[in-house]
Amino acid sequence: MQYKSQAVAKPYFIAAIGLFVGQILFGLILGLQYVIGDFLFPAIPFNVARMVHTNLLIVWLLFGFMGGAYYMIPEESETELFSPKLALAMFWIFLVAGALTIVGYLTVPYAALAEMTGNNLIETMGREFLEQPLPTKLGIVVVALAFLFNITMTVLKGKKTSISLVLLIGLWGLAVFFLFSFYNPVNVVLDKFFWWWTVHLWVEGVWELILGSFLAFVLIKTTGVDREVIEKWLYVIVTLTLITGIIGTGHHYFWIGTPEYWQWWGSIFSALEPIPFFAMTVFAFNMVNRRRREHPNKAAVLWALGTGVMAFLGAGVWGFLHTLAPVNYYTHGTQITAAHGHMAFYGAYAMVNLMMISYAMPLLRGRAANSNKSQVLEMWAFWLMTVAMVFITLFLTAAGILQVWLQRASDAPLPFMVAQDKIALFYWMREWAGVFFLIGLVIYIVSFFVGGEEKQAV
Amino acid sequence: MSGAFTKSMARNIFYGGTVFFFLLFLALSFDTHSQLPKRDMRANITPQIAEGKKLWEVNNCIGCHTLMGEGAYFAPELGNVVARYGDEGTKAFIQSRPKEGIPGRRSMPQFNFTNEQLDAIVAFLKHVNSINDANWPPNDQG
């Protein structure tokens, strides 16, 4: 750790991991509800558990992004953070707001929560991923603005690198596109149209800039490859991301009342969306092969390579599988979508955060890298979680193909629930893969607490 | 990437490409908005339909169901449910959910809607079914 103020990243990382555990536990509840339908009913119905699962994901990823930015920006800018106090204050506000929201989901019926939290003033609740009550949404805006102010001021007073610049564009984009979550017209087609301006332009747009800049930063640090080379790659990757991803939004405009020409725009541009992810994988492997030093933190390098490969598979390949309009006509809103969503989020955003945590946490704890023993455990966790996610994706894909066949493509289409019963075996296997994921996550957490001989940071 | 292709060239392509494709996206969105009134049936939206949409949202229906294919995949598509069950069938289904669920089965909560609320929900779902969504879903099963 070169700058004292980088230390504010630590609570962000710890909170991120804690919320990640919560996300996975609720994932297991949901997986079980798929096969034992009345599990925890009516105390925690599926929609409540799912809201907790997806909202925890979003919040822990945001904690990770903020922690990563607070760690990275002082080092890139070669100056202390503009205001570490503001960063810490925002940490507590965000954590308390997030915790209260989850408690609200779990203890109050959603309609009552909406009533209590002023949904009648601006109706924003009850839309997928944007279920947060109004005060939480406003809290997210306040925290995001304070965070952006802090990070931007730090960059402005220090050195302005390309990595910082790409990160800033990504983070400002994140804040700007979140504002569409406040727009919820009575016309459901318009509602859905602009809902994607938050959801798609986040995960297939500006978030990829954050991902790219984190990856570039860790690769510079761990491989010692020339900054000029890495930053040139970064620009190429984020260019490919945005020229494919922005019009790629069209793959969500096939069947929601929007004109048919989106089937062409969406199919063509989103078919190109795997390219930036492929470039990211080639980039990561290329830089590691051309490394000029042996960094003692092997685990961080493994996460860096892993995030490239898994993002390419999950977002790129599994996205492409169902993105062409004639295919999507049959697969839209099935388990194929769920399969893609799981691997893409894990590969791109969970793993890049875990990479940043893996690189930064030992330094924040005053060592160059964790002990060999700890790193071996962390790498076990990497493989268990990653292989488990591959199997979750494969089982959901199998379930999805059968679902499409039974319910949509056959001559005598079956009702939804009849088809679901026939594919229950795959849901059971997905749940077991989820248990292995949890074991991997537990080992990951244990890896923070094992001793052994550590290299002191220089 | 050889020395001829410099970082500043890459940066300029990034800015130029992003601006160009974002403007193209805005142009397409603008055109879409001029076509939507013919497709989204906005002229038919009544206060009752608006109330139905609100009930749909504040009960987080999307947490289990899909609507025009978007949402969760735990329970059936509802964009065409009125085509499947009819108005009365849809209302009767929502009304008859047992409070404690059905043993071993995926269960829908009992929301205790009033008759007016049920009418509003059905009006909203009928409205969604009337939207021109390029003939999706492939069949009535959703």
With a cut of 70, say whether residue A458 has pLDDT above it: no
Q: Do B69 and A255 touch (CB under 8 A)?
A: yes
With a cut of 70, say whether residue B1 has pLDDT above it: no
- Residues of A in Cβ contact (< 8 Å) with B13: 235-236, 239
Q: Do B40 and A189 touch (CB under 8 A)?
A: yes
Q: Would you state the pLDDT for residue A438?
A: 98
Q: Would you state the pLDDT for residue A341?
A: 98
Reported as a single tens digit per residue, the pLDDT across A342-392 is: 999 999 999 999 999 999 999 999 999 999 999 999 999 999 999 999 999
Whether residue A339 is contained in a domain is answered as no
Cis peptide leading into A42, omega within 30 of 0? yes
- Residues of B in Cβ contact (< 8 Å) with A262: 28, 32
Reported as a single tens digit per residue, the pLDDT across B72-82 is: 999 999 999 99
CA distance A379 to chain B (A): 32
- Residues of A in Cβ contact (< 8 Å) with B111: 111
Res. B57 pLDDT band, cuts 50 70 90: very high
- Residues of B in Cβ contact (< 8 Å) with A114: 57-58
Q: Do B100 and A338 touch (CB under 8 A)?
A: no
Which residues, including other chains, have CB under 8 Å from residue A424's CB and lie 6 or more apart?
A: A34, A35
Q: Do A188 and B131 touch (CB under 8 A)?
A: yes
Token pair recorded at residue A185 = 């017209």
Tallying the residues shown for chain B, one arrives at 142
Token pair recorded at residue A287 = 């830089």
Task: Tell me the percentage of chain A whose pLDDT exceeds 90.
Answer: 98
- Which of A305, A306, A240 has its CA nearest to residue A273? A240
Q: Do A257 and B36 touch (CB under 8 A)?
A: yes
Distance of CA A238 to CAs A11, A12, A256, Å? 29, 26, 29
Res. A454 pLDDT band, cuts 50 70 90: confident
- Residues of B in Cβ contact (< 8 Å) with A252: 70
Reported as a single tens digit per residue, the pLDDT across A130-177 is: 999 999 999 999 999 999 999 999 999 999 999 999 999 999 999 999
Q: Do A247 and B21 touch (CB under 8 A)?
A: yes
Whether residue A303 is contained in a domain is answered as no
Question: Do residues A258 and B39 make contact, with C-beta atoms less than 8 angstroms apart?
Answer: yes
Position A434: which residue type?
G
Whether residue A407 is contained in a domain is answered as no
HSE at residue A161, side-chain half, CA atoms within 13 A, is 22
Whether residue A360 is contained in a domain is answered as no
- Which of B125, B23, B29, B17 has its CA nearest to residue B77? B125
State the Rg of chain A over Cα. 22
Q: Do A250 and B45 touch (CB under 8 A)?
A: no
Question: Do residues A192 and A186 make contact, with C-beta atoms less than 8 angstroms apart?
Answer: no
CA A216, A218, A223, A226 dihedral sign is positive
With a cut of 90, say whether residue A13 has pLDDT above it: yes
Average pLDDT, chain A: 97
Q: Would you state the pLDDT for residue B2?
A: 54
Q: Is A256 on the interface with B (CB under 8 A)?
A: yes
Q: How many domains does chain A have?
A: 1
Q: Is A45 on the interface with B (CB under 8 A)?
A: yes
Q: Taking CA atoms, what residue in A is nearest to B78?
A: A416
CA A42 to chain centre: 30
Point out the residue among A192, A243, A329 whose CB comes nearest to the CB of B70.
A192
CA distance A129 to chain B (A): 9
Q: Would you state the pLDDT for residue B111?
A: 97
Token pair recorded at residue B20 = 């160009």
Q: List phi, psi (to 5°) of A346.
A: -65, -50
Res. A274 pLDDT band, cuts 50 70 90: very high
Q: List phi, psi (to 5°) of B70.
A: -110, 135
**Measured distance CA(A432)–CA(B41) in Å, rounded:** 46
Question: Do residues A415 and B93 make contact, with C-beta atoms less than 8 angstroms apart?
Answer: no
CA distance A163 to chain B (A): 11
Element (H, E) at B126: helix B115-130
SS (H, E, C) chain A: CCCHHHHHHHHHHHHHHHHHHHHHHHHHHHHHHHHCCCCCCCCCCHHHHHHHHHHHHHHHHHHHHHHHHHHHHHHHHCCCCCCHHHHHHHHHHHHHHHHHHHHHHHHCCHHHHHHHCCCCCCCCCCCCCCCCCHHHHHHHHHHHHHHHHHHHHHHHHCCCCHHHHHHHHHHHHHHHHHHHHHCCCCCHHHHHHHHHHHHHHHHHHHHHHHHHHHHHHHHHHHHCCCHHHHHHHHHHHHHHHHHHHHHHHHHHCCCCCCCCCHHHHHHHHHHCCHHHHHHHHHHHHHHHHCCCCCCCCHHHHHHHHHHHHHHHHHHHHHHHHCCCHHHHHHHCCCHHHHHHHHHHHHHHHHHHHHHHHHHHHHHHCCEEECCHHHHHHHHHHHHHHHHHHHHHHHHHHHHHHHHHHHHHHCCCCCCHHHHHHHCHHHHHHHHHHHHHHHHHHHHHHHCCCCCCCCEECC
Q: Would you state the pLDDT for residue A177?
A: 98
Res. B3 pLDDT band, cuts 50 70 90: low
Whether residue A54 is contained in a domain is answered as yes
Q: Do B1 and A233 touch (CB under 8 A)?
A: yes
Res. A456 pLDDT band, cuts 50 70 90: confident
Residue with tokens 């949890």: A438
Res. A451 pLDDT band, cuts 50 70 90: confident
**Quick count: other Cβ atoms within 10 Å of Cβ A112?**
12
Point out the residue among A131, A231, A338 whose CB comes nearest to the CB of B7.
A231
Interface with A, mutate which of B70, B77, B127 (most A CBs under 10 A): B70
Higher pLDDT residue, B39 or A452?
A: B39
**Measured distance CA(A114)–CA(A157) in Å, rounded:** 43
Q: Would you state the pLDDT for residue A453?
A: 78
Q: Do B142 and A416 touch (CB under 8 A)?
A: yes
Q: Is A177 on the interface with B (CB under 8 A)?
A: no
Reported as a single tens digit per residue, the pLDDT across A290-306 is: 999 999 999 999 999 99
Q: Taking CA atoms, what residue in A is nearest to B109?
A: A42
Interface with A, mutate which of B6, B8, B11, B14 (most A CBs under 10 A): B14
DSSP B61-112: GGGT-EETTEE-SSS-B-TTHHHHHHHHHHHHHHHT--TT--TTS-------
Q: Is A326 on the interface with B (CB under 8 A)?
A: no
With a cut of 70, say whether residue A431 has pLDDT above it: yes
- Residues of B in Cβ contact (< 8 Å) with A340: none
- Which of A240, A263, A385, A253 has its CA nearest to residue A316? A240
Q: Would you state the pLDDT for residue B4?
A: 86
CA distance B9 to chain A (A): 9
Whether residue A240 is contained in a domain is answered as no
Q: Do B100 and A42 touch (CB under 8 A)?
A: yes
Whether residue A396 is contained in a domain is answered as no
**Measured distance CA(B125)–CA(B142) in Å, rounded:** 14
Q: Would you state the pLDDT for residue A275?
A: 98
Q: Is A303 on the interface with B (CB under 8 A)?
A: no
Question: Do residues B56 and B124 make contact, with C-beta atoms less than 8 angstroms apart?
Answer: yes
Average pLDDT, chain B: 96
Point out the residue among A34, A186, A236 whose CB comes nearest to the CB of B45.
A186
Q: Which domain holds residue A135?
A: 1-160
- Residues of A in Cβ contact (< 8 Å) with B51: none
What is the mean predicted confidence (pLDDT) over A103-116?
Answer: 98
What is the mean predicted confidence (pLDDT) over B34-41?
Answer: 97
ipTM passes above 0.85: yes
Res. B52 pLDDT band, cuts 50 70 90: very high
- Residues of A in Cβ contact (< 8 Å) with B104: 36-38
Residue with tokens 């959703």: B142
Helices A207-223 and A162-178 sit at what angle, rounded to 10 degrees?
160
Point out the residue among B11, B67, B132 whose CB comes nearest to the CB of A162.
B11
Question: Do residues A409 and B141 make contact, with C-beta atoms less than 8 angstroms apart?
Answer: no
**Measured distance CA(A248)–CA(A200) in Å, rounded:** 9
Residue with tokens 């008759």: B115
Q: Do B39 and A189 touch (CB under 8 A)?
A: yes
Instruction: Provide the 3-class DSSP secondary structure of residue B139.
Output: coil
Q: Would you state the pLDDT for residue B50?
A: 98
**Quick count: other Cβ atoms within 10 Å of Cβ A275?**
16
Q: Is A259 on the interface with B (CB under 8 A)?
A: yes
- Residues of B in Cβ contact (< 8 Å) with A243: 17-18, 20-21
- Residues of A in Cβ contact (< 8 Å) with B102: 37-38
Residue A432 exposed, middle or buried by CB count within 10 Å (0-12, 13-18, 19+): middle
Reported as a single tens digit per residue, the pLDDT across A170-226 is: 999 999 999 999 999 999 999 999 999 999 999 999 999 999 999 999 999 999 999
Position A432: which residue type?
W
Whether residue A30 is contained in a domain is answered as yes
